[in-house]
Each structure stands twice: as C-alpha cells, then as structure tokens.
C-alpha cells in the first residue's frame, strides 16, 4: 500500500511541475521561466520529476550560468496536460 502512496505523490509532483510550466507558457506568452538550481535540484523527488519530464520530451531545460536554468514546456507537454486535464482530479 505504501508503494501506491509513493506512486501517487510522485505522479502528482510531475503533474504539478508540468502544470506550472503550462500556466507560465500562457501567462508569459511562450517565454520560458528562469529557475535556480535549488528550485530544480533542491529535493531528490523534485529533481527526478524535472529529469523525468525532460527525458520524456515534455519540458526543456537550458543552463544559463550562475546556477540558473531556462525552463519551458514543449508542445508535447502542452498536449499531455490538455489530454489529461480532469483525470483523477
């Protein structure tokens, strides 16, 4: 049962990250957001969420230097959010 709880928390964290990027895409007219390395790598689960989403092609991260990253959702990420909105919510 604990494994199912971990699964749901991890999936929720990935949805949260992707949802934030989805919202910022429209709020910032397609401009990427700038995140610090601490925001991305601060906790292991969050770091793994960003890595997973990047490897799936749902977000793009580019280092800017000084420990900051330019992060944006991809068109595949937008499609994923729009196809799954309302599921399990």
pLDDT tens digits, residue range 9-55?
999 999 999 999 999 999 999 999 999 988 898 889 999 999 999 99
Flag whether pLDDT at 65 surpasses 80. Answer: yes
Cα 48 to chain centroid distance, Å, stands at 10
Task: Look at the pTM and tell me if it is higher than 0.75.
Answer: yes
Close Cβ partners of 72 (under 8 Å, ≥ 6 residues apart): 21, 25, 30, 31, 32, 33, 59, 60
Tokens standing for 68? 């900051």
Band of residue 89 on the pLDDT scale cut at 50, 70, 90: very low
Which of the pair, 82 or 84, is modelled with greater confidence?
Answer: 82
**What number of other Cβ atoms are within 10 A of residue 40's Cβ?**
20
Q: What is the mean pLDDT of residues 62-79?
A: 95
d(C-alpha 52, C-alpha 11), whole Å:
11
């Amino acid at each position: 049962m604990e494994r199912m709880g971990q699964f749901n928390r991890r999936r929720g964290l990935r949805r949260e990250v992707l949802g934030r990027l989805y919202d910022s895409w429209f709020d910032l007219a397609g401009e990427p957001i700038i995140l610090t390395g601490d925001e991305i790598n601060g906790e292991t689960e969050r770091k793994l969420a960003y890595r997973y989403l990047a490897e799936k092609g749902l977000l793009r991260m580019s280092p800017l230097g000084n420990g900051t990253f330019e992060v944006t959702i991809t068109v595949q990420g937008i499609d994923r959010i729009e196809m799954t909105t309302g599921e399990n919510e």
